[in-house]
Amino acid sequence: MRIRIAILSLLASLLSTGFMFTSAPVANAGCRDYPESVTPACAAQNLAEEQARQAAAEVQRAQDLVDAENRAKEQAARDYVASGSRPCSVYPASITPECAAQNLDYEASKRVAAAEQQVKDQIKAEEAAKASAEIEYIRNGSRPCTLYPASITPECSAENLAYETKKQVAAAAKFQEDIIEAEQKALKQAQDDYIRNGSRPCSVFPASTTPECAAANLQFEEIKKVEIAALTAAREVSTKSLITTKDENGSLLVVSNIPKGVDLLTTKVKLLNSKGKLVDTGEIRYDGAGKPYFVFDKQVVKGNYKIELSIPKKKAATISVKL
């Protein structure tokens, strides 16, 4: 209540000061400097500014007091909940004999609960330490010589040294195996990339940097741009999984789901007519999204065809195509 009265009185003071503001002279830039500051006009202006500053400071102090009281109330509410939301935790009830006894019992129960929790935490920590020790024992070969005090005997010291030496030798061997495996993966990746680039010698360094190969690679990329443009246009008018179209060079382009068991990096591609006779051998290329498509450069007429994809030691897979 006192705060509200103080704020109202400040507002009234500001209103009365506002009337003084309206009658104050227009602000002069040099009114803070002598000798202008002692002129009647500047004296009035400086007085009005100082009164406004003091009034604003009073309002801010009042607001700070309100904010402090609100924070105190919020903290008291949190403390009330932390104390079990008990009326006996709030002054002045907290100092009555009944509440004093209740608060004493409450604090005693808290100490008991804290002690019980401490015991539980200790048991949990011991269980975790035991589990860690068991894991470490197994990691060291489940050998009794890894456990103290046996570990410091001459016999166990020798055994532990031999064990660590063996581990280091095994780690070195594993390191070499990892290097060989990484090299094999890199070689496989290089071979796959070579196939994906049309199995062209010009796609491999250092040949790729020669003027002849630079021209060949540029021509290859230009051909792919024409093919991908034709496929993009075909996809805009068809949502089917099987798409056939021709590019501006007359090459037949086919997009299809790949039959099960076909390895695109090793398969051979053939275009057969309805009688099963070979029309053309094709190539597998990849668009910008990495999706494969088949290319047949021979001019073909309308009709029923099959794309044959070889599978090692099995019957070839086929894709039916109607042009």
Least confident of 18-27, 119-128, 165-174, 183-192: 18-27
Q: Give yes or no for a contact between 239 and 265, defined as CB atoms under 8 angstroms apart.
A: no
Domain contains 226: yes
User: Residue 184 falls within a domain, yes or no?
Assistant: no
By C-alpha distance, which of 103, 104, 106 is closest to 114?
A: 106
Q: Rounded to whole angstroms, how far apart are CA atoms 27 and 34?
A: 15
HSE, CB side, 13 Å, CA atoms: give it for residue 82.
Answer: 6
Task: Name residues whose C-beta falls within 8 Å of residue 213's C-beta, 6 or more positions apart in sequence.
Answer: 201, 202, 207
> Which of 67, 82, 97 is the endpoint of a domain?
82
Examine residue 231 and state whether it is found in any structural domain, yes or no.
yes
Asked if the structure places residue 53 within a domain, the reply is yes
Q: How far is Cα 143 from Cα 162, in angstroms, rounded to an integer?
A: 13
The whole-model pTM stands at: 0.46
Contact 316, 253 (CB under 8 A): no
Q: Which residues have a Cβ under 8 Å from the Cβ of 28 and sit 6 or more positions away?
A: 36, 41, 42, 45
Lowest mean pLDDT among 55-64, 195-204, 212-221, 248-257: 195-204
| Measured distance CA(61)–CA(68) in Å, rounded | 10
- Domain annotation covers residue 128: no
- Tens digits of per-residue pLDDT, 243-274? 999 999 999 999 999 999 999 988 999 999 99
DSSP reduced 3-state for 289:
coil
Last residue of a domain, one of 82, 106, 124: 82
Domain hosting 263: range is 208-322
pLDDT tier at 275 (50, 70, 90 boundaries)?
very high
In this predicted structure, which of 135-144, 251-260, 283-292, 300-309 has the lowest mean pLDDT?
135-144
In this structure, how many other beta carbons lie within 10 angstroms of the beta carbon of residue 71?
Answer: 10
**Whole-number mean pLDDT of the chain?**
86
| Confidence band for 103, pLDDT divided at 50, 70 and 90 | confident
Q: How many domains does the chain have?
A: 2
Question: How many residues does the structure list for the chain?
Answer: 323
CATH number of residue 242's parent domain: 2.60.40
Q: Give the domain-ending residue among 32, 66, 82.
A: 82
For residue 151, give both structure tokens.
């570990």
Check whether 2 has a pLDDT greater than 50: no
Q: What whole-number distance in Å separates Cα of residue 269 and Cα of residue 208?
A: 26
Q: What is the pLDDT of residue 83?
A: 76
- Give the pLDDT mean for 142-154: 88
* Distance in angstroms (rounded) separating the CA atoms of residues 192 and 199: 9
Whether the predicted pLDDT of 8 surpasses 70: no
Mean pLDDT (whole number) for 286-315 = 92
Amino acid identity of 116? E
